[in-house]
Amino acid sequence: MTTTSTAITPELRAWIVAQAEAGFPPEDVLAAMRSSGWPEDTAIEAMETTLTEHLQAKGKPIPGRALPEPPMDEAATTLVVGGHEVKVLMSMTLPRVVVFGGLLTDAECDELIELSRPRLVRSETVINETGGSEVNTARTSDGMFFNRAEYPLCQRIEQRIAELVRWPEVNGEGLQVLRYRPGAEYKPHHDYFDPIHPGTPTILSRGGQRVGTLVMYLNTPTRGGATTFPDVGLEVAPVKGNAVFFSYHAPHVATKTLHGGAPVLEGEKWVATKWLREREFI
């Protein structure tokens, strides 16, 4: 195998699986990739995602894969985080989805909207070829990003989320606030970054793969605007203060985390999104 490209191709994935099935240890496979010109970070990511997908396709467990997860071992209906009570309204295993009630107070929702309003611009999506971003017709909202802990409110919410899903604060991207006007939507998509795209290594260099998403509803639109999961026929109503959390153990469609924002039919929809990375986000 010889290459100078960093694109994780189907041929590379097949080669990695073949080496694993032949019994070669991971460190030998990694060394072979490095000697063929692959950057170490890209080689590690290629091995991890390829072998994860391979194990899942065979119905085998994925060893050592930590994910954000609420403390629901005893089927709790109420969780207390930082003195704040959060209701568990719904839970699914595949996809891993949990709907929370009252994650944010009405006052927190209103303040977050007002802090974000002056900085709203047309939302963008990732450019797979470069790792940059651009305006896309699939996403017709306005949005902005806060830096992590930019305001006391942001820090309080981030601490609450970290405790709720048991994931380090530093592994989270800054909060993103989005406004959907009547007719605006976000067509179904995945939040993970597909390793097959050439721009993915650039994105992953800031904190590794995304492994979880939390969408918080900052208001209740008059009609429409549900968060949809087409693979499983699930729709989560956008109710002020509530939130939907979902995680994905691999960048693969088998996680069934395809989701979208249905068109707003009347009124506006405001949401705040928190994406969680596998390592510290920089």
Strand partners, 180: 269
Whole-number Cα distances in Å, 189 to 90, 138, 180, 186, 229: 22, 9, 17, 8, 10
Check: CB of residue 155 under 8 Å from CB of residue 149. yes
Higher pLDDT, 13 or 258: 258
* pLDDT (0 to 100) of residue 248: 95
Q: In this predicted model, what pLDDT tens digit does every residue of 198-226 receive, in sequence order?
A: 888 999 999 999 999 999 999 999 999 99
Model pTM?
Answer: 0.76
Residue 272 pLDDT grade (very low, low, confident, very high; cuts 50, 70, 90): very high
* pLDDT (0 to 100) of residue 139: 67
Over range 92-98, report the average pLDDT.
95
* pLDDT (0 to 100) of residue 260: 97
- The kind and range of the H/E element at 252 are none
Residue 1 has pLDDT above 50, yes or no: no
Sign of CA dihedral 45, 46, 51, 53: positive
